[in-house]
Amino acid sequence: MTHITKDSAYNAVAPDDFPAMMEVDRYGARSTAFDKIISATHDHFWDPLDKKYIDFTQPFDMKRQTVVPMDFVLELQTPIADRLSEEEKIALSNESARWMLSSILHGEAGALALSASLCHILKDPGAQEYAANQTREEARHVTGFAKYIEARWGKPLPVGPTLGNLLTDIVNAPEVYKKVVGMQMLVEGLAMGAFASLYSYSHDPLLRHLCQLVMTDEAFHHKFGKIWADRTVPHLTEQERNVIEDWAAECFQTLLFNLANPEQKKVIYAQFGLDWEEVLHEVLKSRTDEKRRKAMSNQTNIFRVLTKTLLKAGIITDRTKGFYATYVDMDELRKEGDEMIGDSIAEDGIEYLKRVNFSGAGRAVSAAE
């Protein structure tokens, strides 16, 4: 098992080595690296089952309105759209949103399982407590997105093979670096971009509010990955850095070309009389590198956010920057500060939650409203 551990805060044992967790010296060897994140947990507490925080009975006309703008839907930017009525375009847009939000739900379930798995292997009590906190927070995200999907569609769609395989690999990975880079950077980086985009552009106030609540937690999860990078990456050997960098680039490439691929989404097309292979053909014709570059110039684009996350963590070097530079202006990213696109949204959400949790005045007004 290759953990590539460079800091004692990330020391790990085999998941079945519980006796190591009862070593008496372990309890007093607590890192302070995560104390601020742990102490801030109460500031962003929220309960998806309490209407004081979020009310899933809020109405939304799915027949006349789209959850996300139609230009978010790749299929509707091709000649496929010409054969659909306006009602069918709205329905396809909302089914595409259902698929995207189902993917987010599956991702949250993966984050929950991965956080729990870290509790089994992280030997440092501080890191273990942080992982336990994240597990709790991911559990409420699963509840929140499950409740939202139930309110709008009834039930989620199955996970696509690309995301499902990646989540399975990183949850089951024995290596700490794959768990941290895979979840706290790759998946959380994608998530923060997706949540920021949905918060900014969704037509559904309920979804915008849910995304902001989730982002109040996710901003701290991202910090856990940043602490790992700050304490690990500068001390890697060249060989170790290459292993991590190549693995991250491979995952990025797989997600970029397959995450929203119509083959992944084929479960939604039959009801519209569309053949998924024809949809795939039309989408591939329309998705040129130039269009990818234009899309990824948007601050909330999920892959731009992910690229910035990896770059700022030192997991993109001259060896691999050429691949990312095909789609993103790397010099522009390098000049930007460390603040992530969702940080300000999360900060506003935390202020909202403080008013709800500590004012005694009941429900406050969300920044999303």
Report pLDDT for 222. Answer: 77
Position 181 pLDDT exceeds 90 = no
Contacts of 290 (CB under 8 A, 6+ apart): none
pLDDT tens string 197-241: 999 999 999 999 999 999 999 888 878 888 888 888 899 899 989
pLDDT tens string 163-174: 899 899 999 988
Report pLDDT for 1. Answer: 44
Residues in the chain: 369
Structural domain boundaries in the chain = 38-358
Position 88 pLDDT exceeds 80 = yes
Position 255 pLDDT exceeds 90 = no
> Minimum mean pLDDT among 9-13, 31-35, 359-363: which range?
359-363
- Classify residue 270 by burial, with Cβ atoms within 10 Å: 0-12, 13-18, 19+: exposed
Position 60 pLDDT exceeds 90 = yes
Report d(CA 246, CA 250) in Å as an integer. 6
Report d(CA 104, CA 112) in Å as an integer. 12
φ, ψ dihedrals at 122, nearest 5°: -75, 120
pLDDT tens string 298-329: 767 788 888 888 888 899 999 998 888 888 88
Percent of the chain with pLDDT over 90: 53
pTM above 0.85, yes or no: yes
pLDDT tens string 348-361: 999 999 999 887 64
Band of the pLDDT at 364, cuts 50, 70, 90?
very low
Half-sphere exposure of 67 (CA within 13 A, CB side): 23
Report pLDDT for 62. Answer: 97
Closest CA to 207 of 147, 159, 160, 157: 147
Quickly count: other Cβ atoms within 10 Å of residue 50's Cβ: 11
Inter-residue long-range contacts of 76-85, CB under 8 Å, 24+ positions, other chains counted: 77/286, 78/279, 78/282, 78/283, 78/285, 78/286, 79/282, 80/274, 80/278, 80/279, 80/282, 84/272
Q: Where are the alpha helices (DSSP H) in the chain?
A: 24-28, 35-39, 86-121, 125-152, 161-172, 176-179, 188-201, 205-232, 238-258, 276-286, 289-295, 302-312, 321-325, 330-335, 343-358
Closest CA to 186 of 300, 99, 302: 302
| Angle, CA 13 vertex, CA 9 and CA 15 arms, to 5° | 125
C-alpha separations of 48 from 146, 206, 274, 314 in Å: 10, 12, 36, 36
CATH architecture, range 38-358: Orthogonal Bundle (1.10)
pLDDT tens string 265-293: 999 999 999 999 999 988 888 776 676 66
CB 10 within 8 A of CB 176: yes
pLDDT mean over 231-252:
89
